[in-house]
Amino acid sequence: MSDGSWRLRWTVWRNGILSSGRFQRFAARFPPTRPVARHHARVLFDLVAGFTYSQTLAACVELGLIDALAEAPGEADMMAARIGLPVEGTLRLLRAAAALDLAECVGDTWTLGSAGAALRGNRGIAEMVAHHSALYADLADPVALLRRGGGGGELARYWQYAREPGAGDDARVAAYSGLMAASQPLVADQVIDACPLKRHRRLLDVGGGEGAFLAAVAARAPHLALGLFDLPAVGARAATRLGAAAAIHGGDFLRDSLPTGYDLISLIRILHDHDDAPALALLRAAHAALPPGGRLLIAEPMADTPGARPAGDAYFGLYLLAMGSGRPRAADEIRAMLRRAGFSRSREYRTALPITVRVIVADR
């Protein structure tokens, strides 16, 4: 019998035990198993209550409570006046926020909790929280989203400019590009810390948006000549941000050839936004544009990340489904695609926070 068959039989047996009400009652009472039972009960409750936690965070961000607590800690009535809620509603929100470590009460004074302080230190997370209202609207009926195969909802509108030629000159460009730029700094620092850049002379960032990644590279690796390739309307925003620090190339990386003359091409949170066929075509286009010995840098959150598996298929899987394109891929899947695209070898470079971004570099 194969290893897979034995594992399946064991898993079915285990599930039968764990789903038994009699076993659950025994595990909760028996001292050696009680901590495990409580842990699983907490995990199950968090799965049920997770949307409420997210909405508590969303209310804190929308009302400016995080900034109010940081700038001037005070009593509940003072906070109520600052965020525009009745005192009772403010107290309800403060207590919920304290339960999630977003807020903390010291005596009668409310201030930031440790999670709230970390949130305030990363403005990109707050931008994502505000943006999640579109995702939550699409997930209000998750079964319908799964049946229609994604897209067509609120979140997909953020990306519509990239799918419709000529639609890239309106507010949608500003909305999505601004969101990506706001959430880029933490990602950029991790990529630059992890990936050796000294051996390269010219870097082309494909799908580089407003140029937030290249701005970080310019500060950390001033020897590199920089280029950015994105839709013309997006590139125009990058030109305003980067000025003479980078050459701006306008085009559609799913339809047009990539500029040549660069020995390093980066795809920062790009590959997972695309389904397999266009993602593979993009990898082949990068291979064609690079010289022998050139490198492709891929940086994005990935599926099956140890210690952060829910962030892959459970979060980005449904997020990208609602977006209407793409899926999270495991590092092994990406490396297999790189081989199919013609790259000779690839390796992963460790990052400080793999839940946020992982890095793979492939050799031409």
Extract the tokens encoding 38.
Answer: 């409580």
pLDDT given for residue 221 in this prediction: 93
Quote the pLDDT of residue 301: 94
What pLDDT, on the 0 to 100 scale, is given for residue 181?
Answer: 61
The β-bridge relationship of strands 246-250 and 225-230 is: parallel
User: What domains does the chain contain, in order, with CATH numbers?
Assistant: 31-120 (1.10.10.10), 186-363 (3.40.50.150)
pLDDT at 222: 93
Spans in the chain with pLDDT lower than 70: 1-3, 158-183
The token pair that represents 97 in the structure block = 């926020």
Question: Are the C-beta atoms of 229 and 259 separated by less than 8 Å?
Answer: yes
Taken in order 159, 268, 186, 319, is the CA torsion positive or negative? positive
- The pLDDT score that the predictor gives to residue 22 is 86
User: Diameter of the chain by CA atoms?
Assistant: 70
Q: Cβ contacts of residue 138 below 8 Å, gap of 6+?
A: 145, 153, 154, 155, 156, 322
Beta bridge partners of 300: 358
Q: What is the DSSP string of 118-167?
A: HHHT-HHHHHHHHHHHHHHHHTTSHHHHHHHTS-SSTTHHHHHHHHSTT-
What is the value of pTM for the model shown? 0.86
Q: Is 279 helix (H, G, I), strand (E, B) or coil?
A: helix
**What is the C-alpha R_g of the chain?**
24
Question: How far, in Å, are 157, 195, 231 from residue 164 at the CA level?
Answer: 11, 34, 11
pLDDT value of residue 285: 97
Q: Give the per-residue pLDDT at 186.
A: 76
Going edge to edge, which strands form the sheet with 225-230? 246-250, 225-230, 202-206, 264-268, 295-300, 358-363, 345-349
CA distances from 329 to 9, 55, 57, 309, 354 (A): 28, 28, 28, 11, 14
Token representation of residue 230: 């994105």
Determine the pLDDT at residue 4: 73
pLDDT of residue 38: 86
